[in-house]
Amino acid sequence: MTTQEVDQPYRLACLELHGGNQAGTYSAELPGLAGWISCRPLGASGGGDLYYLSACSQGVIARVALADVAGHGEMVSSSAVSLRDALREHVDHWDQSTLIRRLNESILKGAPHSRFATAFLASFYRESGELLFTNAGHQPPLWYRAAAKEWSLLLDSTPHSREIADLPLGLIAGTSYSQTAVQLEMGDLLLLYTDGISESSDESGEQLGLDHLLSIARGLPVESAAAAGRGLLSAVERFRGSVTQADDVTVVALERRGGPV
C-alpha cells in the first residue's frame, strides 16, 4: 500500500494535537524537532496503529505517542479517543507518569479483558535537548547519535523492567511504568515504528527481527528525518521481496534541530 507524500511540512501550533490512524505520509515541525511520518494501514478505514504529535502552550515541549492496538474497528476507535483525550489533558506536563497510568486504566475499563495495546511515549524539551520516554511493551526505537555516527536501540534502563514495569497497556491495573531521560544532540535521529516493520517476513518466512533491523539502520541515510524514514521503509520492502504487507506499518522519524519553531 502506498500513500502520496504531502509536499509542505505540517507545523504544529501550541496546544495542538495531530495524528490518528489514517493513511498518510508527510513531514512535520515540532518544538526543536523535525519529523516525518508514514502511516500505512491495511484497511481503507484505518488500522490499529495510532500516532499523535503535540506541542505545549509555550512551544518548548514536543510530545510523540505511537501505539499499536490489538483489534480493529470500534476497539481501535475507543483507544484512539482515550489516547487523544489523555494527551490533550497532559499536553503541558513534562512528567508523563500520570499520563501513562491514566491511559492504562482507561483501556482496562473500556475494553474486553483480552484487548491491549503497546505504546511508546516521548516528551522532548527544546531548551535542553532532553528526551523523556516511556516504553509500554512497544518495539524499541532506533537511535542515531550524530556525534558518534552510530545507530543503537533506545532501551529503557530501569532495573525493574523484567518485573511488572513496562507491560503492554490494558493488562494489569496499577502497573508501574518507568521514565528514562536521554540527551539528544543536534542531528540525532530517532526512528519510532510499529511491529509491522520488525515482524515483516521475507519469502522464506523469516521475520526481520531487531538484530537485522539494527543492521539495516546502519546503512540508512542520516541527513534528515525524512531521508532516514523513507530509507527504512524501502529497506524493509526489499527484505520482504515479493511478500505483501501483512500488518499495519507506521514510522515516525524525528531529528533534533536548532533554530526557531
pLDDT at residue number 166: 46
- The predicted-structure confidence for 75-133, as pLDDT tens digits, reads as follows 667 777 777 888 888 777 777 777 877 777 766 555 554 456 788 999 898 988 888 88
Work out the number of other CB atoms within 10 angstroms of the CB of residue 95: 10
Question: What's the grid cell of residue 184?
Answer: 539528544
Strand 189-193, strand 130-136: pairing: unpaired
Phi-psi region of 39 (alpha: psi -120 to 50; beta: other; left: phi over 0): beta
Alpha-carbon dihedral 159, 164, 166, 169, rounded to 10 degrees: 180
Residue 158 has pLDDT above 50, yes or no: no
Q: What's the CA angle centered on 165, arms 194 and 137, to 5 degrees?
A: 10
pLDDT at residue number 187: 97
* Three-class DSSP category at 215: helix
**Alpha carbons 36 and 27: distance in angstroms, whole number:** 4
Tell me if 29 sits within 8 A of 18, measured CB to CB.
Answer: no
Where does 173-251 have alpha helices with state H? 195-198, 209-217, 225-240
- The predicted-structure confidence for 19-56, as pLDDT tens digits, reads as follows 988 999 999 999 999 999 999 998 777 788 889 999 98
**Alpha carbons 139 and 119: distance in angstroms, whole number:** 9
Residue labelled with grid coordinates 532495573? 159
Beta-carbon contacts of residue 36 (< 8 Å; ≥ 6 apart): 26, 27, 28, 224, 225, 226, 228, 229, 230, 251, 252, 253
- Position with higher pLDDT, 169 vs 181: 181
pTM of the model: 0.86
